[in-house]
């Protein structure tokens, strides 16, 4: 059958329908622009299909199983063991994904956004070519937004086949529960998934090349997670490199090295999570004169415009942090700029980051070390969840809230948390930084009792040595 050719005309083409692309497209339509979205795989991108949403669904299920197993401390007796029906769990997760991606399709329809399926590449200024299963479509347009996201990094000796060696994608759709799981990479993806598998019954070992888990995370926060890994029986091998593996019967022998000493680990499944790289190859960037920098990102200005006229880049393509909510915000900015808002700019005070380990970690703004490096006279306040009435009633008391502030101005510079539901608490801290709040503003805000957010209020009071429910060490 001969390949068909088609031509379309629109105002804006958005390449990629992930959390950056679909948000950008909807905002463009709201601002009166005619939009075509090109997506080669699934609407919703990595985040909704094989990332943020499915991983959090599995993590929630694993946490529920663990809570049920430990409910005896609250006087709730569970007869027999708590079993996981893996097929049913994966099907439940898939149902959530289908509901959300279907919702985006309806939003596109409601906003008059057209979707073209296929692989897109720039073919010169104002021209996009899309290769689909039925042929090639050429789209003429005024502006292009690149929102093609990123993919897992593959390391030598551990090629992804989603059978013997999982990427995060394979780990989110298991057909069996591995008895012994090796996680290569002690960053947030590896630990989130590793803890989930430990909770549902796998014997988990983590191999990390650096000297600590969660590289780049505040050391005090990471230490709380490290202690919980140990309690949970997760083995962590630091400053260790994974070299390769060989089949041994129905299992695998993985060769690892630390300080020049080699050893082998026998496991049933390998999960490699050593980071992600932007997707910009085969995009035709050369046809408009755009190049990736040495780190693989595209240089953009405050409006997310590249060096090429009328070509914008958002999300993982546009640099760190590679987070879905950052991509969405950039999509809103780019849409405003395309619609003619000359004041549109990506200029957040800080971007919150959340790690869904157990306990969770959440952070926004400067760490104590970063603040000092920038010349601030720093003061810090901490409040432990062990002193929180709400945390005690939930039997989840590990962790703390830490506030970093400028001692002279009292302005909040950063808030860092580890503990129960801190992924929800960090929004208050993000707002505080964005509005330029002082420590006194947080301390004087009446927080409902008994709730976890009271820990933020108490940490603010602790900055000035006045926490009510915690006697801080004398300075």
Contact 364, 429 (CB under 8 A): yes
Cα–chain center distance at 319: 14
- Number of alpha carbons in the 13 Å side-chain half-sphere of residue 411: 13
On whether the CB atoms of residues 143 and 149 are closer than 8 A, the answer is: no
- What gap in Å lies between CA 92 and CA 97, rounded to an integer? 9
Dihedral sign computed on CA atoms, order 63, 64, 69, 71: positive
Q: Please provide the size of the chain in residues.
A: 475
CA distance 420 to 426: 11
Half-sphere exposure of 455 (CA within 13 A, CB side): 32
Instruction: Record the tokens describing residue 154, joined without a space.
Output: 């593959």
Residue showing tokens 């010349």: 375
Quick check: is 469 catalytic?
A: no
Find the catalytic residue in 310, 325, 376, 449: 449
Nearest to 280 by CA among 293, 261, 269: 293
* Cβ atoms 433, 349 nearer than 8 A: yes
Q: Are 188 and 178 in contact (CB under 8 A)?
A: no
The side-by-side arrangement of strands in the sheet containing 143-146 is: 114-117, 35-39, 12-15, 143-146, 311-313
Active-site amino acid positions: 449
């Amino acid at each position: 059958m001969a390949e068909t050719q088609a031509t379309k005309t629109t105002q804006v083409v958005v390449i990629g329908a992930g959390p950056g692309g679909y948000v950008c497209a909807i905002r463009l339509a709201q601002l009166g622009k005619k939009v075509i979205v090109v997506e080669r795989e699934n609407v919703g991108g990595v985040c909704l299909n094989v990332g943020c949403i499915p991983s959090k669904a599995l993590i929630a299920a694993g946490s529920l199983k663990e809570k049920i197993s430990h409910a005896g401390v609250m006087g709730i007796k569970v007869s027999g063991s708590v079993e996981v029906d893996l097929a049913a769990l994966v099907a439940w997760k898939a149902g959530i994904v289908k509901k959300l991606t279907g919702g985006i399709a309806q939003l596109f329809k409601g906003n008059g956004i057209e979707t073209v399926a296929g692989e897109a590449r720039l073919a010169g200024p104002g021209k996009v070519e899309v290769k689909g299963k039925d042929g090639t479509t050429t789209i003429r347009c005024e502006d292009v937004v690149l929102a093609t996201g990123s993919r897992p990094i593959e390391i030598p000796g551990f090629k992804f086949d989603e059978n013997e060696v999982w990427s995060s994608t394979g780990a989110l759709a298991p057909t069996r529960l591995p008895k012994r799981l090796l996680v290569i990479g002690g960053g947030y993806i590896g630990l989130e998934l590793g803890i989930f598998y430990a909770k549902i019954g796998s014997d988990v070992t983590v191999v990390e090349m650096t000297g600590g888990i969660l590289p780049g995370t505040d050391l005090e926060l990471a230490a709380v997670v490290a202690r919980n890994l140990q309690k949970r029986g997760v083995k962590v091998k630091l400053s260790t490199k994974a070299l390769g593996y060989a089949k041994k019967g129905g299992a695998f022998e993985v060769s690892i090295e630390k300080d020049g000493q080699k050893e082998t680990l026998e496991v049933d499944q390998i999960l490699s999570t050593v980071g992600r790289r932007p997707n910009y190859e085969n995009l035709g960037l050369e046809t408009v004169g755009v190049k990736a920098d040495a780190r693989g990102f595209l240089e953009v200005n405050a409006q997310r415009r590249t060096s090429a006229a009328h070509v914008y880049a958002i999300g993982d393509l546009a640099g760190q942090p590679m987070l879905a909510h950052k991509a969405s915000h950039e999509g809103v900015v780019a849409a405003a700029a395309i619609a003619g808002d000359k004041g549109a700019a990506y200029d957040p005070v800080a971007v919150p980051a959340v790690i869904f380990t157990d306990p969770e970690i959440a952070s926004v703004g400067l760490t104590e070390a970063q603040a000092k490096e920038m010349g601030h006279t720093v003061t810090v306040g901490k409040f432990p969840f062990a002193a929180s009435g709400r945390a005690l009633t939930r039997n989840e008391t590990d962790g703390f809230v830490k506030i970093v502030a400028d001692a002279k101005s009292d302005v909040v510079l950063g808030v860092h948390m580890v503990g129960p539901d801190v992924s929800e608490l960090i929004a208050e801290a993000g707002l505080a930084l964005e509005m330029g709040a002082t420590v006194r503003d947080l301390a004087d805000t009446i927080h409902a009792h008994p709730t976890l957010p009271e820990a933020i209020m108490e940490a603010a009071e602790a900055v000035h040595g006045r926490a009510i429910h915690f006697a801080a060490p004398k300075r």
